[in-house]
């Protein structure tokens, strides 16, 4: 699904060369379930063999599929058809391509711009706490929490975004944010490590497993937060999946027009 996070005329398939293995795998696998995407990806990859080569080397698990796509591309396509196919793929993968361009991510993604730190800081007391942010992105939540917390681990599976946060830390002499790799499915920390475990726009593919993993690394009586950013989406009610799992919520109307629900749960362990 495209969110128009990029101006497709400013990007090419070469953005794939900046992607991590998990993103390449996700994009190539999308071609198995979306025929129009497969058709365009096929011609786009055949037109740029070095991108096809990168995808196969970076994510060997999709090598066979990339070969199939390249081999099924029409050989007589003209320059316009090739350009159109590339633009289709770029537009369709905008939510991935934007991760390769963090400075535009901050400007173009509605969940980041206009957001106010108070929306996070009013959820719990961050003073002197040990915090984990899962899927930090450009560090919207991590850097806000770091103003009060003892230390924040900003966990992010995308290399370009990790490097963006590291550059910011160096430039702004931030001493209490540590950038690490990791996913919500497998959080690389011991049980009961953090006072606060937070995320935004990450939980939702598998609520049960993701929240269980977040709870595992949260100390008894610590908190799990989900603090989405701003958008223009009308929502009639909070996410029932979150309420069913014991989260309470705070609500505000976004300046962009959306209904924004933020979630909080205290983790009680026996």
Ligand X SMILES: C[S@@+](CC[C@H](N)C(=O)[O-])C[C@H]1O[C@@H](n2cnc3c(N)ncnc32)[C@H](O)[C@@H]1O
- Least distance to ligand X, CB of residue 85, Å: 26
State the Cα–Cα distance between residues 212 and 214, nearest whole angstrom.
5
Candidate list 102, 137, 222, 258; residue touching ligand X; CB under 6 A: 137
Q: Roughly what angle, to the nearest 10 degrees, separates helices 35-47 and 63-71?
A: 80
Rounded alpha-carbon distances, angstroms, from residue 97 to 16, 27, 128, 156, 166: 7, 11, 36, 16, 20
How many Cα neighbours within 13 Å face the side chain of 263? 24
Residue 157 interacts with ligand X (CB under 6 A): yes or no: yes
In sequence order, what DSSP letters do the residues of 76-89 get, joined into one string? Answer: T--HHHHHHHHHHH
State the Cα–Cα distance between residues 196 and 267, nearest whole angstrom.
10
Residue 247 interacts with ligand X (CB under 6 A): yes or no: no
- Least distance to ligand X, CB of residue 154, Å: 9
Residue nearest to ligand X (CB): 137
Q: Map residues 76-105 to x or -, x wherever contact with ligand X holds by CB under 6 A.
A: -----------------------x------
Closest CA to 89 of 136, 41, 43, 126: 41
Candidate list 92, 112, 131, 132; residue touching ligand X; CB under 6 A: 112
Closest CA to 131 of 56, 76, 195: 195
Residue 41 interacts with ligand X (CB under 6 A): yes or no: no
Residue 183 interacts with ligand X (CB under 6 A): yes or no: yes
Candidate list 46, 92, 202, 225; residue touching ligand X; CB under 6 A: 202
Candidate list 6, 70, 89, 184; residue touching ligand X; CB under 6 A: 184
Candidate list 21, 83, 151, 201; residue touching ligand X; CB under 6 A: 201
Site for ligand X in 208-227 (CB under 6 A): none
Residues in contact with ligand X by CB under 6 A are 99, 111-112, 134-137, 140-141, 156-158, 161, 183-185, 200-202, 229
């Amino acid at each position: 699904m495209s969110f128009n996070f990029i101006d497709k005329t400013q990007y090419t398939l070469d953005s794939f060369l900046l992607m991590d293995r998990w993103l390449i795998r996700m994009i190539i696998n999308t071609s198995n379930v979306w025929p129009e995407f497969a058709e365009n990806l096929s011609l786009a990859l055949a037109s740029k063999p070095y991108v096809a080569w990168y995808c196969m080397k970076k994510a060997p698990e999709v090598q066979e599929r990339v070969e199939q796509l390249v081999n099924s591309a029409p050989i007589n396509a003209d320059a316009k058809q090739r350009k159109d196919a590339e633009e289709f793929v770029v537009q369709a993968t905008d939510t991935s391509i934007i991760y390769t361009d963090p400075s535009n991510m901050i400007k173009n993604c509605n969940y980041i711009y206009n957001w106010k730190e108070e929306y996070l800081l009013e959820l719990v007391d961050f003073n002197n706490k040990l915090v984990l942010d899962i899927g930090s992105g450009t560090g919207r939540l991590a850097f806000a929490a770091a103003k009060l917390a003892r230390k924040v681990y900003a966990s992010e599976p995308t290399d370009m975004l990790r490097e963006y946060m590291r550059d910011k830390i160096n430039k702004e002499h931030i001493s209490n944010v540590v950038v690490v790799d990791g996913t919500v499915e497998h959080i690389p920390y011991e049980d009961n490590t953090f006072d606060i475990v937070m995320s935004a726009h990450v939980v939702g593919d598998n609520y049960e497993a993701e929240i269980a993993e977040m709870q595992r690394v949260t100390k008894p009586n610590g908190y799990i937060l989900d603090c989405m950013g701003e958008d223009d989406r009308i929502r009639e009610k909070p996410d029932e999946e979150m309420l069913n799992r014991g989260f309470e919520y705070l609500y505000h109307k976004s300046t962009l027009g959306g209904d924004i629900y933020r979630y909080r749960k205290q983790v009680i362990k026996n």
